[in-house]
Amino acid sequence: MGYSGARGGLAAILAAEDLVRSARDRGPQPWAGTEQILARFRLAVDRVMGEAGLYHEATAADAFRQAEGDPLEAAHLVRAHRSTLPRIAVSEPVDPDEMTVLRRIVPAHRTPDGPQLLGRTSDYTGRRLERPDGPPDPPAGGLPANGSATPARTAAQRHPRRFSALLRQADLLVDHPADRDDEPFDIIRRPARPGAPRSAVLASMARAETGALVGLWYRSVLGPDGHIHEVTLGEVRHGRLPLRVRHPHTDAPVTIGEFRVTETEAIEDLDEADEDRTRFDLGYGLCLGHNERKAIAMANLDIACRRFGRDGPLEQLLLLTTDGLDSGGFLEHLKLPHYVTFRSMVERKQAMREQREVAAQPTEPLGRDCR
């Protein structure tokens, strides 16, 4: 009862909600404040912002707490929240060259223009589990004024020239005719289907579930199909970008804040008969927050989709199967009652059995549907 039985369904739902709330919010441990979550769970918050497609750290942190740390559930909360909000402005186009880098590496070159800036990362730290009893002691001699042990970087070092600029200078990159400067495809307002422009694929990937993108990429490496190349990374960056909107009165662009993104450029070898084999091409990835796995998978899948997406299944896979809310939601719907559809299936099984006058193996119908 309560699942689909007599009235009392609502009481059962409220009781289930209460169990979550009381265990989560009124347990014996101190309350995890928004600031606390932002400071301790930066990467989780960034992942929620990226998969939700909404950049607001405090909102994502609150969702993360409410979702008990489930990033997909948190992204759902943020997206459903955004559905309640009117769109009051559209930002000016963002120029990634304006990025103030916090981290930047160029795997394709030993000494690129500008620094290889490791920044805040545990990439090079041994993955050893630490089991401290409490907060670590402050370092001897105290922290330097800027909170970091390394000297401050110059403005030039924070805005390094792209490695791809060097490639372009050496005439090693395919020169794509400049795309028409169309409005980007707005995947929030229009459903993107195969045949959609590149901006729709990029937007879908930027908002995709991280694991879905990485899985799709890896499927080509060790799965039974796919021919996505392993790219060489020209640029992996995490940094801050200014956000500008036009002032409603003066119509002048006004910077209203900053947001962090991860950006990747992937260098692709071209080896198809109809491609320029003397040059490389570039795949591009950019997502909200610090999420390098996602940005790298995105850049690699971007160039793969431009090369093979329309001829094969990749474009449909990227546009329609990588959204975590879509795939997760459809999976979760299996938990709903299905006894009407199941009864109908049972009836057909019995009808088929009645028709078994002729000895032949019944086979699977050609078309199978989801219910």
- The footprint of another protein on residues 331-360 (CB under 8 A) is 331-333, 336-341, 343-348, 350-352, 354-358, 360
Distances in Å between the alpha carbon of 176 and those of 72, 168, 203, 279? 37, 12, 20, 12
Q: Which stretch binds another protein (CB under 8 A): 93-101, 214-222, 279-287, 361-369?
A: 361-369
Q: Please identify which residue in 85, 129, 222, 252 interacts with another protein, judged by CB under 8 A.
A: 85
Instruction: Select 165 or 320, whichever has its Cβ closest to another protein.
Output: 320
In the range 13-52, which residues lie near another protein by CB under 8 A?
Answer: 13
Give the Cα separation of 255 and 105 in Å (integer). Answer: 28
Instruction: Select 61 or 77, whichever has its Cβ closest to another protein.
Output: 77
One-letter amino acid for residue 271 of the chain: D
In the range 245-264, which residues lie near another protein by CB under 8 A?
Answer: 246, 248-249
CB 174 within 8 A of CB 116: no
CA 223, 226, 232 angle in degrees (round to 5)? Answer: 95
Instruction: Select 17 or 35, whichever has its Cβ closest to another protein.
Output: 17
Q: Name the DSSP letter for residue 147.
A: S
In the complex, least distance from residue 191 CB atom to another protein, rounded to whole angstroms = 3
240: exposed, middle or buried (C-beta count within 10 Å: 0-12, 13-18, 19+)? middle
Helix H or strand E encompassing 40: helix 34-40
Q: Which stretch binds another protein (CB under 8 A): 72-80, 117-125, 144-152, 163-171?
A: 72-80
Instruction: Select 123 or 183, whichever has its Cβ closest to another protein.
Output: 183
Give the Cα separation of 53 and 295 in Å (integer). Answer: 14
Q: If binding means CB under 8 A, how many residues of this protein chain bind another protein?
A: 76
Separate counts of helices (H) and strands (E) for the chain: 13, 4
In the complex, least distance from residue 194 CB atom to another protein, rounded to whole angstroms = 4
Instruction: Select 51 or 268, whichever has its Cβ closest to another protein.
Output: 51
In the range 168-187, which residues lie near another protein by CB under 8 A?
Answer: 183, 186
Residue 237 sits in the site that holds another protein (CB under 8 A) = no
Instruction: Select 166 or 325, whichever has its Cβ closest to another protein.
Output: 325
CB 260 within 8 A of CB 243: no
Q: Name the DSSP letter for residue 90.
A: -
DSSP for 182-239 reads PPPP-TTTS---TT--HHHHHHHHHHS-HHHHHHHHHHHHHSSS--PPPPEEEEEEEE
Q: Which stretch binds another protein (CB under 8 A): 62-70, 95-103, 128-136, 189-197?
A: 189-197
Instruction: Select 100 or 316, whichever has its Cβ closest to another protein.
Output: 316
CA 32, 38, 42 angle in degrees (round to 5)? Answer: 125
By residue count, the chain amounts to 371
Q: Please identify which residue in 96, 115, 119, 194 interacts with another protein, judged by CB under 8 A.
A: 194
Q: Which stretch binds another protein (CB under 8 A): 83-91, 121-129, 265-273, 276-284?
A: 83-91
Instruction: Select 8 or 33, whichever has its Cβ closest to another protein.
Output: 8
Q: Please identify which residue in 80, 152, 221, 254 interacts with another protein, judged by CB under 8 A.
A: 80
Give the Cα separation of 23 and 19 in Å (integer). Answer: 6
Per-residue burial over 49-67, b = 16 or more CB atoms within 10 Å of its CB, e = otherwise: bbbbbbbbbebbbbbbbbb
Q: Please identify which residue in 144, 223, 253, 362 interacts with another protein, judged by CB under 8 A.
A: 362
Q: Which residue has the tokens 């036009």?
A: 246
In the complex, least distance from residue 212 CB atom to another protein, rounded to whole angstroms = 14
In the complex, least distance from residue 324 CB atom to another protein, rounded to whole angstroms = 10
Q: Please identify which residue in 26, 31, 89, 212 interacts with another protein, judged by CB under 8 A.
A: 89
In the complex, least distance from residue 45 CB atom to another protein, rounded to whole angstroms = 19
Q: For residue 50, list its beta bridge partners.
A: none
Instruction: Select 3 or 31, whichever has its Cβ closest to another protein.
Output: 3
